[in-house]
């Protein structure tokens, strides 16, 4: 158990819909990262927050947005869903952002768009 | 932009054989991390390398960071079935850059 929790575990929805994925980092960790993992794309970095502020951005679509709240939990919002958005979404947390901060991954949310 | 590549994509070995995966970055890295993901699981941190030419060992696993800090390798001696999974390297340009994951090497071990 990494100490990172993600809800829900599974999500099945239809195209065009909007969903919210939730992540609670390990106690004491200030950074939260979101990744998308699909069979043909590997582990794709989406976005990172550090202590409530956006720190780094990866290949995140405009239809996706995220935020980190004062209690450090984070939410990833996916809207206008398409079939291709079906994937495993991981959240990870680390103590900070500088060298030496290993990332602890949550169990993931499996999103299926029908 | 920065790219991180890994070879091979897949590797099938007989139990007891050695295994090596290689990671190459298009730019110089400040550090490189290695993760392992078991089938159906989530990535788990294995190690981080920071210094040029650094070599670190964890039991049967040996990790190396190249002199130019642009490549790295993970070597497993005498593989076991518990080594099955996908091994990812992840590089960071500077300490404030985002971490870029390689595509991973999927290891299968035939008992």
Q: Do the chains contact at A99 and B98, CB–CB below 8 Å?
A: no
Shortest CA distance from B6: residue in chain A: A42
Q: What integer pLDDT is reported at residue A102 of this predicted model? A: 87
How many other CB atoms sit within 10 Å of the CB of residue B103?
17
The 10s digit of each residue's pLDDT in A58-95 is: 889 999 999 999 999 999 999 999 999 999 999 999 98
Residue B99 has pLDDT above 90, yes or no: no
Q: Which of A9, A26, A55, A101 to mutate to test the interface with B (most CBs of B within 10 A)?
A: A101
Q: Do the chains contact at A45 and B101, CB–CB below 8 Å?
A: yes
Residue B70: exposure state from Cβ atoms within 10 A (0-12, 13-18, ≥19): middle
All domains of chain B, ordered by start, with CATH?
Answer: 8-110 (2.60.40.10)
Name which of B23-27, B33-37, B79-83, B89-93 the model is least confident about.
Answer: B89-93
The 10s digit of each residue's pLDDT in B57-72 is: 999 999 999 999 999 9
Residue A13 has pLDDT above 80, yes or no: yes
Q: Do the chains contact at B95 and A43, CB–CB below 8 Å?
A: no
User: Which residues in chain B are closer than 8 Å to A56, comparing Cβ atoms?
Assistant: 97-98
A-B interface: how many C-beta pairs under 8 angstroms? 54
Residue A100 has pLDDT above 70, yes or no: no
The DSSP line for A47-95 is EEEETTEEEEE-S--TTEEEEE-TTS-EEEEE-S--GGG-EEEEEEEES
Q: What integer pLDDT is reported at residue A4 of this predicted model? A: 97
**Count of alpha carbons within 13 angstroms of residue B15, beta-carbon side:** 7
């Amino acid at each position: 158990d990494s100490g990172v929790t993600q809800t829900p575990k599974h999500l099945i929805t239809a195209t065009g819909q909007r969903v919210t994925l939730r992540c609670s980092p390990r106690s004491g960790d200030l950074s939260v990262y979101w990744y998308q993992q699909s069979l043909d794309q590997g582990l794709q970095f989406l976005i990172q927050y550090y202590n409530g502020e956006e720190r780094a951005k990866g290949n995140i679509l405009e239809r996706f947005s995220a935020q980190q709240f004062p209690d450090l939990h984070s939410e990833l919002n996916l809207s206008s869903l398409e079939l291709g958005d079906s994937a495993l979404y991981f959240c990870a947390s680390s103590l900070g952002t500088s060298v030496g901060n290993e990332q602890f991954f949550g169990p993931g949310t499996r999103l299926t768009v029908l | 932009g920065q790219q991180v590549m890994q070879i091979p994509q897949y590797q099938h070995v007989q139990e007891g054989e050695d295994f090596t995966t290689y990671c190459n970055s298009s730019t110089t890295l400040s550090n490189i991390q290695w993760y392992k993901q078991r089938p159906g699981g989530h990535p788990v941190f294995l190690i981080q390398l920071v210094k040029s030419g650094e070599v670190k060992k964890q039991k049967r696993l040996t990790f190396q960071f190249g002199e130019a800090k642009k490549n790295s390798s993970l070597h497993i001696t005498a593989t076991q079935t518990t080594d099955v999974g996908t091994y990812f390297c992840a590089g960071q340009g500077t300490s404030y850059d985002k971490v870029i994951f390689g595509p991973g090497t999927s290891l299968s071990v035939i008992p």
